[in-house]
């Protein structure tokens, strides 16, 4: 059963990885998947949260976000080193069949995707924080995270199952850290 699931994962990967490859789309998805290009977007999200919260609660929320990103990133690494599933760009059976857009493949193991888990955690956490003022923001943020996951498949460094697992873990983490943030804000408000 596991072997059939992995074969299906490889088939879906090949279909998505080679869909629409061109110099325009290659460049687009490389920019999309590069975290540093998203700094202005993160600053905008922080600004929107700052407008909603007082300074003390905003700083507390930033600390919780830093903890959340560290948590999702480190647990992702635990899974990568524990499961040791090679990235598709290291899979010999996919050699010559897949497109590697990125100049290097990166770390040898890819289960599960850190980009997917981090982006979905940010999407869920921020979307829940902003939902009272920006009701539909969470949907846009989730679409942004899904595109982030797709970018990892397109450039050739993750299988769809890596991305899907990252989404699930990131979504759950984002929700749990949102709850932690609410709890801490309530505690600090009551202590004043």
Is the domain spanning 2-191 CATH 3.40.50? The answer is no
pLDDT tens digits for 141-191?
Answer: 999 999 999 999 999 999 999 999 999 999 999 999 999 999 999 887 765
pLDDT tens digits for 33-61?
Answer: 998 999 999 999 999 999 888 888 999 99
pTM score, whole prediction: 0.91
Q: What's the pLDDT score for residue 126?
A: 96
Instruction: Give the domain ranges of the chain.
Output: 2-191
How far is the C-alpha of 143 from the C-alpha of 156, rounded, in Å?
20
| Conformation bin of residue 96: beta by default, left when phi > 0, alpha when psi is -120 to 50 | left
Q: What's the pLDDT score for residue 189?
A: 72
Question: If you average pLDDT over every residue of the chain, what do you get?
Answer: 91
């Amino acid at each position: 059963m596991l072997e059939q699931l992995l074969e299906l994962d490889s088939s879906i990967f090949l279909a998505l990885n080679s869909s629409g490859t061109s110099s325009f789309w290659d460049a687009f998805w490389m920019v999309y998947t590069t975290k540093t290009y998203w700094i202005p977007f993160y600053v905008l999200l922080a600004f929107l949260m700052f407008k909603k919260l007082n300074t003390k609660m905003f700083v507390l929320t930033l600390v919780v976000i830093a903890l959340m990103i560290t948590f999702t990133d480190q647990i992702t690494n635990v899974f990568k080193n524990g499961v040791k599933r090679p990235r598709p760009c290291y899979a010999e059976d996919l050699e010559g069949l897949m497109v590697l857009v990125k100049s290097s493949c990166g770390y040898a193991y890819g289960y599960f995707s850190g980009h997917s888990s981090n982006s979905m955690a940010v999407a869920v956490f921020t979307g829940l924080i902003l939902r009272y003022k920006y009701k539909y923001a969470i949907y846009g943020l989730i679409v942004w995270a899904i595109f982030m996951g797709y970018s990892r498949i397109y450039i050739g460094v993750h299988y769809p199952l890596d991305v899907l697992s990252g989404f699930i873990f990131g979504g759950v983490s984002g929700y749990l850290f949102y709850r932690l943030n609410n709890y801490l804000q309530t505690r600090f408000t009551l202590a004043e």
